[in-house]
Amino acid sequence: MNERTINREVSSIREDITAKRKAATAAVSRRTFVKRVSAIGAGTAVLSRVPTRPTKAQYGPPHADGLPAQQLTAMFTDMVKIRQWESKIKDLILKGGFRGVAHLYVGQEAVAVGVCSALRKDDYIASNHRGHGHLIAKGGDLKLMLAEITHKAAGYCKGYGGSLHITDVNLGILGMNGIVGASHLFAAGAAYGIKVKGTDQVAVSFGGDGSIQGNFFSSAANSAAAWKLPWIGVIENNAFQIWVRASDVYATPDLAQRAAGYGIEGRVVDGNDVLAVYGVAKQAVEKARSGGGPTLIECKTYRWYDHYGVAGARTGGDGAFGLGYRSDRELRDWMAKDPISRFRKFLVSEKVLTEAGADEITAEVRKAVEEAATFAEAQPVPKPEDGLLHVFAQGAVPLHTA
């Protein structure tokens, strides 16, 4: 049985499992649901809309209506996981001697979790350099991720790839990618592949505000539009491309406006409101799954740390201050819109969670994160000569340094 046949088998088994899981979830969803979710979301969900293509839901995320408490709790847990796992990485880097690098995602958790909660396990995501959050939201293992970003042999990529390239094909994670914009093209390609396979999967790409220019985005958008591919492009507009403000290099305030040029529906959403993101994503996913074609979703959000690394950050506290290209006040303003506290408050007021229950989740996550760190720490480093493997599917390349 060759590699490709195996892939196919795996994916058909996966489809089976998913179908069963889906039926189960639908049942739960009808049993316990939160009522006022859609009303709550209404004011915040859609900041502005691209004028060319009206969508049915003018306000609010109707799909959040009917969400089971269980799923809401899972969403909260995932957001906390991202926050805690990344804060641990930050602390480890600040401590010194960290075997790796990181582009921290903290502050943008609502986007990853909102989108991935609208996906099935067998749907695909393609991620970018700021992708730890996407991966955790799609089910990535905290231990294997931590082992990978410290380049240990037990990591997801056996220590070859590190922070920027974590991949788990079994979870439909086509990988983080260090080249800005590539995620969109690969997801659109995967969406084409889904059409060839004839399944009802969808493929989502995550990219920053910087990812809509350059070579890749346009090719993804045009092809997805021309052939109604099940592609969803998620643009996390966190205002910056390193230190360059998006508004200084684009003429339109809403980046989702670019969708119209290709004949794609473009949506703009408050990227710090997980239910709003979920609602828009869910609509897009259902549309894509049923052959209705692509959607471009712009999520307005903010990263709490520097582009890369931990400049301006401190152990035990959130956020990076004193960075030259943004004001501390701007950061504080966004920290006040913390997607996690906001969601927690909502869940408590909705009686989905108690304060104690939320604390317990947080504590449990913290424990899991500590375990992940201990696990990663204990793992051996890769064997030197293994660097010659995995260039091709078979064999090792010759060493030419002797």
Near ligand TPP in 302-331, by CB under 6 A: 307
Q: Which stretch binds Mg ion (CB under 5 A): 218-226, 237-245, 314-322, 370-378?
A: 237-245
The DSSP bridge pattern shows strands 244-245 and 240-241 to be antiparallel
Give yes or no for a contact between 172 and 400, defined as CB atoms under 8 angstroms apart.
Answer: no
- With CB under 8 A as the contact rule, the residue among 1, 23, 251, 356 that binds its own copies is 251
- With CB under 6 A as the contact rule, the residue among 74, 179, 260, 348 that binds ligand TPP is 179
- The identity of residue 119, as a single letter, is L
Size of the site for ligand TPP (CB under 6 A): 17
Residues 295-324 that bind another protein (CB under 8 A): none
Binding of residue 179 to another protein (CB under 8 A): yes
Binding of residue 339 to Mg ion (CB under 5 A): no
Binding partner of 51, given its own copies, another protein, Mg ion, none, CB within 5-8 angstroms per partner class: its own copies
Burial classification of residue 202, based on how many CB atoms lie within 10 Å of its CB (0-12 exposed, 13-18 middle, 19 or more buried): buried
What would the x/- binding string for ligand TPP be over residues 180 to 219, using CB under 6 A?
A: xx-------------------------xxxxx--x-----
Rounded least distance, CB 55 to Mg ion, Å: 25
Nearer to ligand TPP, 159 or 210 (CB): 210
Distances (CA, A) of 42 to 36, 254, 270, 276, 302: 10, 20, 11, 8, 21
- Mapping DSSP onto H, E and C, the string for 4-70 reads HHHHHHHHHHHHHHHHHHHHHHHHHHHHCCCCCHHHHHHCCCCCCECCCCCCCCCCCCHHHCCCCHH
Give yes or no for a contact between 34 and 67, defined as CB atoms under 8 angstroms apart.
Answer: yes
> What are 96's strand-pairing partners?
none
Residue nearest to ligand TPP (CB): 208
Phi-psi region of 234 (alpha: psi -120 to 50; beta: other; left: phi over 0): beta
Residues 242-261 that bind ligand TPP (CB under 6 A): 242
Tokens of residue 163, six digits: 């922070």
Quick one: how far is CA 214 from the chain centroid?
21
Binding of residue 242 to its own copies (CB under 8 A): no
Binding of residue 263 to its own copies (CB under 8 A): yes
CA atoms within 13 Å, Cβ hemisphere of 394: 2
Binding of residue 219 to another protein (CB under 8 A): yes
Q: Which stretch binds its own copies (CB under 8 A): 14-22, 76-84, 246-254, 310-318?
A: 246-254
Q: Which stretch binds ligand TPP (CB under 6 A): 3-11, 178-186, 256-264, 343-351?
A: 178-186
Rounded least distance, CB 243 to its own copies, Å: 17
Residue 190, number of CB atoms within 10 A of its CB: 23
Smallest Cα–Cα separation from 119: which of 180, 74, 183?
74
Cα–Cα dist 333/121, whole Å: 35
Q: Which stretch binds ligand TPP (CB under 6 A): 58-66, 113-121, 179-187, 268-276?
A: 179-187
Q: Which stretch binds its own copies (CB under 8 A): 112-120, 233-241, 247-255, 359-367?
A: 247-255
Under the rule (CB under 8 A), what is the footprint of its own copies?
A: 51-52, 213-215, 217-219, 222, 225-226, 248-252, 257-264
